[in-house]
Structure 1
């Protein structure tokens, strides 16, 4: 009886019969067999090797994922699907090249299955071997025969793949060979002298206390002197490096910032080390001392005013804060009602460009207190624009997230939803230096509009919407509809 790999070889040979490779005109079946051979140097997992043999079936033959799942199992089909690009039959493939690559790279970046990363590396190594061979003979002319003739864009694609599989697979011979070929075609793409391509310092957070959680990972107290931020496994080395670079820029601009002194490997994830003696997050302090929430709200409000008091020049290349808000509209409201999405976008576009620094992920889990002084982490979302973007973030974390399930806020922040709501009220009072209920309610209403848009986007990110999800979308769409008709502006006066 044939095993799964043998059956896959026969199936793929039949499905690819008569097809040839773009370069050299060799039988196409040789490519998936080469991919399978590369995979066999990294793993003995039958499903992963089988997926390597079948990885081009959906894109290049009449075969389907459902047929692959029926013949070879759900996991094989899942791994194959990670490399099956979305097609746009009404447009030329050259016109959709970047869009298709960005979408597929997002799948790779977000995948937690090591088989997906192995398949991508093996497939692209087989491709880059071929490209390197032809490049040595024909130079830059080789790009003329591809759907993407821009060498720089090809470099971006192959470099991105290397960065996304690097931490999991950098010790394999396949990864080392991949880097060699990429550097041959595009010298300097991967700097072999950097520590990132040597053995990482490996640390474990087993037994360490988790002192903070955020959208990008968790923060652990490693010992009395050190804190480690452990990033989610869809964050690449470049993402971590960018955040550290942003932290240095923020520090120079006057934002009290914790700066990492090194990147480490924590299992299959990246970590950033911080020297934070006797420090804890503001969330931890509130959890321990909820009766002192007013003190911590004042600290956070003062810190926010410090950040928003920094004016960014036109020469500083920070992204507009409104880009993130408009991405929420595109990802949610626009999928429900294009006309309403246009109204929402108009409100966002009309926010005055105050050239104000915006942190982009401002909450008590991202601020440490060291000797009573605040220090910010998570600087990768630094942007420039109106502080309403920041105020809406706070409303989202301390109000909106707990509306349907208070336990969500309790898990995220470490203290009760009631305390979170009180914190928000006190923060707004201190930030705006007023107890005028009309002013504060106006701010909350504007923030709730943005948060409703954000929640619709959040729900739409799910693969499949439940009946409860659809009910929530209807609820938030009603809020957005009502407030978009009521609000003339999302702005408030920025005090410098």
Structure 2
């Protein structure tokens, strides 16, 4: 069975229209503010295959709402902002000032720490991935949506070696992380079958 690709929300206007139908209880004004902040900080950043970075943020949002059925407003705001501290000049304090302590905390859980002068990047990454296993459930759900967006079209990554290493890392860390989170457990299981050629 082929895994589902979530890429229907290419722009905020399309996403906003779907959110109004699928999650009518959430504050679209608050998400408007999150999208504005993400656009401001991410600017013209691109993904490895060349797509605008905002598409990744909207994919994570689409996965949460359309796939996993998440309607928790803080989690959805955090989805839009999940890379803003790791990949831009924005600080956690700025996120907290605009969206509150819970959103800032969720973003902090999924933010990979910077590598110190006496550290190896691989060790920092491994420590971060292992730490996710003790994260609160909402942070785990957020990170699973982020990863599923990153790997749902893995064959389009421009570097074949990265495709294989990302596949191995996802199987090693994210499939176990998805256990007990029913929708994600099934989604990652199907994804693994679709990409077994990378083993």
Same fold (TM over 0.5): yes
In which range does the TM-score fall when normalised by the shorter chain?
0.7 to 0.9
The structure that has the greater radius of gyration is 1
**Alpha-carbon distance change, 134 to 91 in structure 1, aligned in 2, over 3 angstroms:** farther
The alignment partner of 2:71 has SS state of coil
Distance (Å, rounded) in 1 between the aligned partners of 2:198 and 2:91: 39
Distance (Å, rounded) in 2 between the aligned partners of 1:175 and 1:14: 34
CA displacement 1:193-223 (0-9 Å, x = unmatched): xxxxxxxxxxxxxxxxxxxxxxxxxxxxxxx
Matches for 1:112-261 after TM superposition, within 5 Å: 113-131=136-154, 133-134=155-156, 141-143=159-161, 146=162, 151=164, 153-159=165-171, 160-167=173-180, 169-170=181-182, 172=183, 174-186=184-196
Point out the structure with the larger helix share.
Answer: 2
Query: How far 1:187 moved relative to its partner?
Result: 5.4
1:107 to 108, 116, 131: 131
- For the 8 Å contact 1:48–1:119, the answer to whether it is kept is yes
CA displacement 1:415-438 (0-9 Å, x = unmatched): xxxxxxxxxxxxxxxxxxxxxxxx
Unmatched 5+ stretches in structure 2:
1-26
- For the 8 Å contact 1:121–1:175, the answer to whether it is kept is no
Distance (Å, rounded) in 2 between the aligned partners of 1:188 and 1:77: 35
Match of 1:85 in 2: 112
Distance (Å, rounded) in 2 between the aligned partners of 1:30 and 1:70: 25
Whether 1:31 aligns to 2:44 is no
Distance (Å, rounded) in 2 between the aligned partners of 1:155 and 1:91: 28
Query: How far 1:91 moved relative to its partner?
Result: 7.3
How many pairs were matched up? Answer: 170
TM-score where L is the length of structure 2: 0.75
Point out the structure with the larger strand share.
Answer: 1
Query: How far 1:77 moved relative to its partner?
Result: 0.8
Greater RCO structure (CA 8 Å; 6+ sep): 2
TM-score where L is the length of structure 1: 0.32
C-alpha RMSD over aligned residues: 2.6
Unmatched 5+ stretches in structure 1:
190-496
